[in-house]
Amino acid sequence: MDLTEHARRNRAHWDAESDTYEAQHAAQLERAPCAWGVWSIPESELNVLGDLRGKDVLELGCGAARWSMKLAKAGARCVGLDNSARQLEHARRLMVEAGVDFPLVHASAEAIPLPDASFDVVFCDHGAMSFADPRPTVPEVARLLRPDGLFAFSAESPLHFICWDDATDAVTEQLRSNYFERTSADDGESICFSLPYGEWVALFRRNGFVIEDLIELRPPIDAESTYNDYVPHAWARQWPAEQIWRVRKSR
C-alpha cells in the first residue's frame, strides 16, 4: 500500500537520523529496555502490560526493538514493526548480539501488512503512536487484536503538545496552540501527532476499545534523561508531558 505523505517524510527523517538517535540515547535505552517515556519509568513499577509469557505481541514503531528483545527473552512471541529501514537495521544488529530472533516488519502503522486477529497485545513507547496518524492507526490495531486484546502506548500529552513553541523548538509554560484544532505538528523534517483527550476517547470507542487506564507520567525527583530537549525535568515534574493509554478490545 502506498505511504501517506507524512509517512514518507517520517520514513526519510528516521532513516537519516537513526544513527544519531542511537548514539545519543542508546545508553539510556539499554539501561532500562522495558521502561516508559523519556524518563525511563520501569514497566515493573507501572505494570502496564502484565505477564506476556506465551502471548503474541506487536511492538508498533519498535526502533531498535530493545523492548521486544527483552520481552522475547521473557517468553513473549514478539513482532517488531517500524517505518524506518535504518531503525530495523539497528534492531537486527542488536538481536544478533542478544541471541534472540523474531520477525521485523518494515511498514507504516497506518497500513500494517499482517493478518486480522494476529495478536494478544499491541504496544509502543512513543514509536508509531507519535509519528503515525492515530485516526487510521487505531483501527489497524483493532483489526490486528484478538477479542479482549490489549493496546497500550505512551505518547506526548495534549498539554505538552499545545505548550510547544515552534519558533524556539522547545516546550514553554504558556499555551501556544489551539487545543481543539492542532492535531499534528510539522517541524520541517518530521510530522508528529496528538489528539485532545475527548478525541482519543471517541476514537477508542468507535473502534471497540474499553479504556482501562490513563497514566500521566511524572519523573522521579532525581530522574535524569538524554531527552532534555523534549522536556526539561522541572517542567515534567509540574505538568504531564507524556501519557500512557491502556485500552482493551471489547469485540
The answer regarding whether domain 5-249 maps to CATH 3.30.1300.10 reads no
Alpha carbon distance 87, 22 (integer Å): 9
Q: What is the pTM of this model?
A: 0.96
Write phi, then psi, for 248 (nearest 5 degrees): -130, 135
Count CB-CB contacts under 10 A for residue 128. Answer: 29
- CA end-to-end span of the chain: 27
Cβ-proximal residues to 9 (8 Å cutoff; 6+ apart), any chain: 189, 190, 191
- Joined together, the cell numbers standing for residue 58 give 506487536
What is the full per-residue pLDDT of the chain (251 aa) written as tens digits?
589 999 999 999 999 999 999 999 999 999 988 999 999 999 999 999 999 999 999 999 999 999 999 999 999 999 999 999 999 999 999 999 999 999 999 999 999 999 999 999 999 999 999 999 999 999 999 999 999 999 999 999 999 999 999 999 999 999 999 999 999 999 999 999 999 999 999 999 999 999 999 999 999 999 999 999 999 999 999 999 999 999 999 96
